[in-house]
Structure 1
Amino acid sequence: MNLPPMIAALRHHKAAVTLIALQVALTCAIVCNAIFLIASHAQRLHVSSGIEDDALVWARSSGLRRGDGADARARADLDALRHLPGVTAVAQVNTLPLMGNDWSADLGVTAGDAQPAVNGAALFLGTPSFLGTLGVRLVEGRDFHADEYVDYSPFDDTPAPPTAIVTRQLAAHLWPGQPALGQRVYIGAGSSQGALVVGVVADVARSAISGGTSDHDVLLLPVRTVAGPYALRVDPTHRDEVLRTLPAALIAQDADRIVTDREAFVDTVHRYFHDDRAMVWLLVTVVGSLLLVTALGILGLSSYWVHQRRRHIGVRRALGATRRSILTYFLAENMLVVGLGLAIGTCVAMWLNHWLGERYEVPRLPLSWLGIGALLLWAIGLVAVFGPARRAAAQPPMWVIRQ
């Protein structure tokens, strides 16, 4: 295809060329970033909690307070919940994966080191049998022994538990290329008392995830009691029944309490990702609308463009141009105009991503996503112009010239 005549022809239709190029540029800038955000949020929706979601329910009570008698009340509550029909295990925990309230601490691998090896790792504290209650899968080592559960709070000056269990991801961050079993982990900057790592579990999600490399940096610690919800491992077929009978079992232990929350863990996970699902659908709607408007714009301007040059088309056909050459000419011309818009749009897309990153901590847009967006818009441009170009190429030469 000879470019100089094509460029000369385009210069006679500056308004149409400018409108199409600007529309493609604006769409490209928005669509590239939107598709990347859709992929990022969709990826979060597939994050596994790392525990058996459908076999877990949890409850929180306003009557559970630390202080005199708190430990005895907690043990009585656990015993009452353990005897509910359908409950196979129960424990008290400080939080659960994807619950939204993260407990975190800096971790070190050397006693007294003020420089942590991992910043802000999540802490999961639980009473006896809490690994089995959650359904966490050990991949190395062992579970906690009964005598390793101690009184501990990361907010007090109490000594750390003697043992700890880490996720595979946390182990890789603390001791890259080394076995985690038998290592000591120090909780808090400058700590001199380390917990011996006795087990490694498959990756458990934090209570709050960000889509980064620290989403499974979790340290599990054994405690006798902790302020937090009760977790109940249940037979999934009795889950609804347990949720109904659970409040009465707790109130029977303390009539002054209120069961403030109770929920199946699958519903907790579903609720946690509500905003991500809403964002995905919003962005899909925006992208779909923009692509539709762009396609209609190219279609409308191309139809007008072809109509304005019908005599030129007739002359070319009379001089021997085939239908295929006419069709190819208009497709190539459209590719040139859309390519101009994409060149501008990719630059704007990169600037827009940089602006969003500075203000909203949006991840940097990979160049591959620019290519995906450009190919998508190029394909839409070709499809939109194909109809008008095909109709123009199909008309007999003399009929076109007479119009």
Structure 2
Amino acid sequence: MQVGIIVAALKKHRLATFLIAIEIALACAVLCNAIFMFMEKSRALNLDSGVEESSLGVVQLSGFSADNANDINARVINAIRAIPGVESVGVISAVPFGDPGVRAGVNIDEALERSGGVLDFYLGDAVALNSLGLKLLSGRMPEPAEYAPIEQYVPSNAPVLVTKQLADRYWPGQAAVGQSIWAMDTRFTVIGVVEHLVVSQPGGGEALGNDWSLIVPAVAGPQFAGRYVVRAKPQDLPRIFGQVGKVVSAAAPDVVFDQTASRPVSELRSDYFRGAKVMMGLLAAVIVALLGATALGIVGLASYWVEQRRKQIGIRRALGATRTDILRYFQIENFLIVTMGIAAGLILSYAMNLGLMRFYELPRLPMAYLPISAIALWLLGQAAVLVPALKASAITPVQAIRSL
């Protein structure tokens, strides 16, 4: 079957061909970006926090002064630790997917000329840091003597742990252990590198990466109180957190127990990504509706052309064309139309992505999504035209004559 003959026939139906090609171009542009956004949300849902979420929960308090902080810490920790099944309770500044703690911009040179961006500072006492279940890749964990009191926001000249993502960014090809970071008028010395520790609110804030986190050993005190990480077996956490509110209220009736923020980390994660799950559902619905509308458009146009060409089909059959010849004609014709639409759609995809990058801070569309969308539309086009094409191939010369 010569493509030139098909192209010549399409020129006689320029408006219909143009409209279906435009529909496919729009479908391609939306499909590329919708699939990309869906995969981005999916990656966020599967984000590795770096901590043992199923075994951890957080208790958050407010409504007390710094003068009472040491007493509050002691009473609350003892009360929670007394709940059967609790393995450990430590003071911490933040947990993944919870309320943020200390955030600050850092520099990676003493002259403060090389900015390292904004990091989440996770402050924790010895019990809290050991409870998180961080995976140490190099270096060591803080020693007992390295846990120091907070002077204003952080301990002065403290040893810290960094994530692998930060180590690779700040000191590519070098050992991170022994390097220094400067922030909040103090120097931090790296003593270890952990595989992951996600920022408290991934995808939000000013952090440029999900693992832009710094772990600082600290001693609980007036500037460091009111938030506690609880470790227990996963099967015990629901029961423990069913009792935490009553236990804390009895031990410290003069504080405010934040019930919304005091939950297992797995629940905090689920709530944090609830909006992403809704968005994924909407994107999936958009993708399905878009493909369905495109398929219906192709079916409608092909069916219309079959009815318009019954006489020509009958004549071709009478001249010796087989059913396969007729079927191939419509498949090739549709393939050419879809290809024209895809060619325009790929350009439109990037234009749409630039708009999303500008107004919604979406990352740049990877090239890999273009062939994925193109192949999906080619397959859809061939499947959609199949029924009308089979109907056309079944027309006999006698049927064509009778329909005149």
Please indicate, yes or no, whether the TM-score normalized by the shorter chain is above 0.5: yes
Paired residue type of 1:110: D
Q: Contact (CA 8 Å) 2:310, 2:395: kept in 1 or not? A: no
Unaligned runs of 5+ residues in structure 1 are none
Contact 1:181 1:197 in 2 (8 A): yes
**Aligned equivalents of 1:102, 1:143: Cα separation in 2:** 21
Structure 1: distance between partners of 2:77 and 2:218: 14
282-291 vs 71-80, which deviates more?
Answer: 71-80
State whether structure 2 residue 135 is matched by structure 1 residue 137. yes
Asked if 1:202 corresponds to 2:202, the answer is no
User: Which aligned segments of 4 or more residues in structure 1 are displaced greater than 3 angstroms?
Assistant: none
Equivalent residue runs for 1:266-305 within 5 Å: 266-305=266-305
1:380 Cα offset (Å): 0.8
Give the C-alpha shift of residue 241 in structure 1: 2.0
Distance 2:143 2:321 in 1: 87
Question: Could you tell me which residue of structure 1 aligns to residue 355 of structure 2?
Answer: 355
1:78 is paired with a residue whose SS is helix
Distance 2:226 2:28 in 1: 48
Residue matched to 2:370: 370
Q: Deviations over 1:278-328 (max 9, x none)?
A: 111100101100110110111111111111101100111111111111111
Which stretch shifts more, 287-296 or 258-267?
Answer: 258-267
Q: When the two structures are aligned, how many residues end up with a matched partner?
A: 396
Deviation at residue 253 of structure 1 after TM alignment? 2.5
| CA offset digits 1:91-126 (Å, max 9, x no partner) | 111111122525322333333x22235211211001
Q: Give the CA deviation at 1:37.
A: 0.7
Q: Which residue of 1 aligns with 2:343?
A: 343
Matches within 5 A, 1:102-117: 103-111=102-110, 113-117=111-115
Q: Which residue of 1 aligns with 2:182?
A: 186
Give 3-state SS (helix, strand or coil) of 1:18's partner. helix
Identify which range, 206-215 or 304-313, moves more after superposition. Answer: 206-215
The whole-number CA distance in structure 1 between the counterparts of 2:107 and 2:356 is 34
Quickly say closer, same or farther: Cα 1:97–1:116, change in 2 above 3 A: farther
Q: Which amino acid aligns with 2:93?
A: N
Q: 2:51 maps to which residue?
A: 51
Aligned AA for 1:276? A
Deviations 1:123-165 (A, max 9, x none): 100123212222222232332222222222664xx75253111
Which amino acid counterpart does residue 179 of structure 1 have in structure 2? Answer: A
Alpha-carbon distance in 2 for matches of 1:233, 1:177: 36
Provide the secondary structure at the position in 2 that maps to 1:236: coil
Q: How has the CA–CA distance of structure 1 residues 77 and 327 changed in structure 2, closer, same or farther, with 3 Å as cutoff?
A: same
Residue 197 of structure 2 aligns with an amino acid whose one-letter code is: V
37 and 94 in structure 1: CA distance in 2 versus 1, 3 angstrom threshold: same
TM-score for both structures, normalised by structure 2: 0.92
Counterpart of 1:168 in structure 2: which amino acid? K
Stretches of structure 2 that go unaligned for 5 or more consecutive residues are none
Report the alpha carbon displacement of residue 395 of structure 1 after superposing the two structures with TM.
2.5
Alpha carbon RMSD of aligned pairs, Å?
Answer: 2.0
Q: Is the 8 A contact 2:117 2:208 kept in 1?
A: no
Q: 1:253 aligns with which of 239, 251, 275?
A: 251
- Name the SS of the counterpart of 1:182 in structure 2: coil
Partner Cα separation in structure 1 for residue 101 and residue 328 of structure 2? 60
Partner of 1:223: 218
Greater Cα shift, 250-259 or 29-38 = 250-259
